[in-house]
Amino acid sequence: MRTLLTVILSGLVLSCSRLEIQKSITDDSFVPQKIDYAIATNPDIDLQKLRWTPIFKNNLSLGFQSDHIYLRIKATNPTSANKLILDLGNPHLDLVRVFEEGNPEPIKEGGDFIAHSHWDAFSKSIAFELDWKENETKTLILETKSSSNISYLIRFYSKETFYLKENLENTILGFFYGTIFIMVIYNLFIYFILKEKAYITYSISIFFNLTLQMYLNGILNQVVTLDHPEIHNRIGSIIVTCSALSGWTFAQQTLNLRELNPWSNRLIQSLKVLVLFYILIPYAYLPISIAVRLGNLIAQLFVVSVLVVALVNYSTGNKQARLFLIGWITLLFGILMYTLMQNGVLPVNAFTIYGNQIGSTLEAGILSLALANKINELKEEKANTQAEALVTLEEKVRERTKTLDESLNLIKKDLNVAKKIQKTLFSDIKTSDPRIHFHSYYQSMSEVGGDFYDLTQVKPDYYRIFVADATGHGIQAALITMAIKAEYESLKMIYDHPDDLVFHMNQIFINKYSNIQTIFTCSVCDIDLKNKILFYASAGHPDQIHQRIHDIKLLPRTGKIIGLMDHTQYRIIEHQIEEGDRIFLFTDGIFEQFNEEKELFGEDRLYEILKENLKMSLDHTMAKVLSELALFTEGDVKQDDITFIGCEIQSLS
C-alpha cells in the first residue's frame, strides 16, 4: 500500500510539472469554427442533399450507428505552422475518409480496419496530417463508419504540438498503467506468500482491466496489433469478456458469496456460464459489429450486477462488502461513464474517456486494502475457531484417550491370555535319558509370534524335533501356528520318516487352508540313538546345523515351502551320529537381526560362535549365541521371532 501511495504522489508531482507544457499545447492548437453532422444510409448520396445538423462543441457522440456519419468541419489555421494534424479523438472508427469541399476524391483515408502502421499519424487515436497555410480557411467533409461507438473529440494541432501532446498523454497514461501493473505484481507476490486464491484472482482481474483500458485508449493497437486490424477489432470483446469473468470470480471469493449469500453466488455463476458460452462458441461466428455490441452489453451487465451484489451484501451485514463496494464503485463509475459515452448518453470529453484510469488506480489500492482486511479477518476467525476447537478437542481427546486406554487394556489382557495359550503349544521333552540332552529358547517379536517347535519321543531310542516359521508376525502368524500345531499333532506319531511327515503336512495345508493362503517353512529332525542315524527333511527352511568336533555339516532344505504347491516331493537326508555331536535347529530370526548400521548378524557369525564354544556345555554355547546377538543389536533383538533348539548326543552305549 505504501508503494501505491508513493506512486500516486509521484504522479501528482509529475502532473504539476506538466502544466506549463499543457498550456503550450493549448495555445498551439484550436477547434473548428463550425461543425455539422449528417447521417446517410446510402454512402453514394449527394452531399448537397444531406440534412446537416450543427453542433456547438468540438465533441459528438452518437452511440452505435450502422449508417455512415458525415462531418462538415470549417476551420481557419491561426497558427504559424503549415502542417496541421486533425485529431478525431477516437481510435476505434472502422473507416474515415477526408474530403475537401468541392473535391469528390478523398485526400486521406484511415480507420482501425487499416493496419496501424499505415496510419497517417503515429498516434493512439485516428488522426490525419494536412497541408494548411497560415490563416487559410478550409471546409472538410469526413465520412465515417464504425462497428464500435461513433464519437469524436475534434481538434487541430501543429505537427510538433500534436506529438508533444501525445508524449504528455502517454506519460500520464503510463503512470496510471504502471501503477496498476505494480498492483498486479504486488498481489501476485502476496499470493505466493499467503496462498490465498483471492489475490491471484484479483491480479488476473486488474490485469485484464489494464489490458482493456489499453485497448480502449488505442495503445494496444499502436504497439501490439498494429499490423493485424482483424485481430484488433475482435480482441476487444474477448478482453471485455475475460475482464468480466475474472471480476465476477473475484467478487465471489472476496465477498464469500457461496457461504454468505448463495443467491448472489448463483446469479454471478449463471452470468459467468452465459458469458463463457458466448466467448467459446458463437463469438467466432458473429459479425464484428454484433460482437462489439455484445461486448458492450457484457460490460454494462458486469457493472450493474457487481454493483447490485455488493450493495445487497453490504445491506445484509457482509463485512467484506464495505471496502469492496467503495473500491469497485470507483472503477465501475469510470466504466459506466465510458459505456454511457459509447451509447451517446454522455458527451465525449477527457473525463468520460480517461475517468476509468483514475478510478482503476484508486480501486486497485482500495481493493488491496479489502483483501488485506479479509486476510486479517480470516486470521482472527481462524484463531477464534482454533481456540474454541482446542477446548472441544481437549475434551474429546480426554474422552477418546480414556476409551483407547480401556480398549488397550482389554487388548493387552487378551494378548496376555493368547501368550499363555501359545506357550502351551510348545512341547519340551521331559526325559531322563542320559544319552541325549535338549535345550530350547523361544522369544516372540511381540506378545505372540509365528514360530512353533515341538520335541517328542516317538518311541524308545527315537526322538523327533519339529520347528516351523509361519509367514508374518503377531496375531495373524500366531493363529497360523495354532493350525500348524493341530495338524502336526495328528501326524507326528503316524509317519516314521520326516519326508513323509512333511509331504502330508503340505497336502493338508494345500487342501484345507489354501483359501487363506497359509504358508510356512519347517524342518523335521529324527534322532535314532539305537541305529546311530539322523534323519532330516526341510520345507523351505534355512539351513540347519549338525556339528561334530572337527566339522559343521549343514542340513539344507529338501523341498518347497508348505502350502505353496500341490504334491511337492521332499527328499530325506541321513547322517551318522557320534558321541558329542550337536544338532541345532532354529528359525531365521536367530541370524536375520540388524544393528544400527543396518549390518546383518548373519549365518556365518552364528557358525563361528558355535565353533568357538564347542568345548562349552550345550546350554552355555546357546547362551553365548544369544548374548552375542544382544550385544550386536545393542539389546534390540525383537526384530523377528526367535526359536533356537539344541540337542547334544552325550552317549550311544
Phi and psi angles of residue 287, each rounded to the nearest 5 degrees, phi first: -60, 150
- Residue 12 scores a pLDDT above 50: no
- CB burial readout 391-428, b (16+ within 10 A) else e: eeeeeeeeeeeeeeeeeeeeeeeebeebeeebeebbbe
The boundaries of the domain holding residue 104 are 2-162
> Which DSSP category does 110 fall into?
E
% of the chain with per-residue pLDDT over 70: 81
Q: Which of 162, 192, 222 lies at the terminal end of a domain, its last residue?
A: 162
pLDDT, residue 14, reads 44
Q: Which of 130, 162, 194 lies at the terminal end of a domain, its last residue?
A: 162
Quick one: pLDDT band at residue 359, thresholds 50, 70, 90?
low
Quick one: pLDDT band at residue 320, thresholds 50, 70, 90?
low
CB neighbours of residue 237 within 10 Å? 24
Distances (CA, A) of 88 to 110, 156, 285, 463: 11, 9, 31, 117
Sorted by sequence, the CB contacts under 8 Å of residue 561 that are 6+ apart come out as 519, 520, 521, 539, 540
Phi and psi angles of residue 317, each rounded to the nearest 5 degrees, phi first: 95, 15
**How far is it, in rounded angstroms, from Cα 542 to Cα 85?**
102
Residue with the bigger pLDDT between 298 and 422: it is: 298
pLDDT, residue 579, reads 92
> Is 8 a domain residue?
yes
Q: Tell me, yes or no, whether 359 and 441 share the same domain.
A: no
Distances (CA, A) of 323 to 23, 261, 329, 373, 576: 38, 17, 10, 9, 98
> Is 418 a domain residue?
no
Residue with the bigger pLDDT between 54 and 255: it is: 54
Q: Tell me, yes or no, whether 239 and 110 share the same domain.
A: no
What is the tens place of the pLDDT at every residue in 631-641? 898 876 567 88
Q: Tell me, yes or no, whether 48 and 140 share the same domain.
A: yes
**How far is it, in rounded angstroms, from Cα 510 to Cα 518?**
8
Quick one: pLDDT band at residue 560, thresholds 50, 70, 90?
very high
Is the four-CA dihedral 66, 68, 74, 80 of positive or negative sign?
positive
Residue with the bigger pLDDT between 456 and 49: it is: 456
Q: Tell me, yes or no, whether 445 and 591 share the same domain.
A: yes
> How is residue 5 written as a grid cell?
501511495
Cut 0.75: pTM above it: no
For the domain that residue 108 is a member of, what is the CATH number? 2.60.40.2380
pLDDT, residue 150, reads 84
Of the candidate ranges 353-362, 465-474, 497-506, the one whose mean pLDDT is the lowest: 353-362
Q: Which of 374, 391, 410 lies at the terminal end of a domain, its last residue?
A: 374
> Is 643 a domain residue?
yes
- Helix (H) / strand (E) containing 2: helix 2-17
- Residue 290 scores a pLDDT above 60: yes
Quick one: pLDDT band at residue 571, thresholds 50, 70, 90?
very high
Q: Tell me, yes or no, whether 543 and 594 share the same domain.
A: yes
- Residue 460 scores a pLDDT above 80: yes
Q: Tell me, yes or no, whether 157 and 196 share the same domain.
A: no
Q: Tell me, yes or no, whether 222 and 150 share the same domain.
A: no
pLDDT, residue 23, reads 65
Contact status, residue 163 vs residue 100, Cβ threshold 8 Å: no
Residue in the structure block whose three cell numbers are 478510478: 359
Q: Tell me, yes or no, whether 452 and 571 share the same domain.
A: yes
Contact status, residue 479 vs residue 532, Cβ threshold 8 Å: no
Query: What is the residue-wise DSSP string for 603-618?
Result: HHHHHHHHHHTTTS-H
% of the chain with per-residue pLDDT over 90: 26
> Is 415 a domain residue?
no
Q: Tell me, yes or no, whether 303 and 272 share the same domain.
A: yes
- Average pLDDT value over all residues in the chain: 81
Q: Tell me, yes or no, whether 6 and 116 share the same domain.
A: yes
Residue with the bigger pLDDT between 280 and 95: it is: 95
> Is 449 a domain residue?
yes
Structural domains in the chain (count): 3
Q: Tell me, yes or no, whether 197 and 63 share the same domain.
A: no
> Is 30 a domain residue?
yes
Give the range with max mean pLDDT: 199-208, 265-274, 364-373. 265-274
- Residue 15 scores a pLDDT above 60: no
- Residue 329 scores a pLDDT above 80: no
Residue in the structure block whose three cell numbers are 502544466: 19
- CB burial readout 267-280, b (16+ within 10 A) else e: bbbebbeebeebbe
User: In this structure, which amino acid lies at residue 630?
Assistant: A
Which of 75, 115, 90 lies closest to 222, judged by CA? 115
Please count the residues of the chain.
Answer: 653
> Is 171 a domain residue?
no
For the domain that residue 443 is a member of, what is the CATH number? 3.60.40.10
Q: Tell me, yes or no, whether 352 and 206 share the same domain.
A: yes
What is the tens place of the pLDDT at every residue in 541-559? 999 999 988 788 999 999 9
- Residue 412 scores a pLDDT above 60: no
Is the four-CA dihedral 129, 130, 131, 134 of positive or negative sign?
negative
> Is 406 a domain residue?
no
What is the tens place of the pLDDT at every residue in 94-116? 899 999 888 888 999 988 888 88
In three-state form (DSSP H/G/I as H, E/B as E, the rest C), the secondary structure along 41-92 is: CCCCCCHHHCCCEEECCCEEEEEECCCEEEEEEEEECCCCCCEEEEECCCCC
Contact status, residue 614 vs residue 606, Cβ threshold 8 Å: no
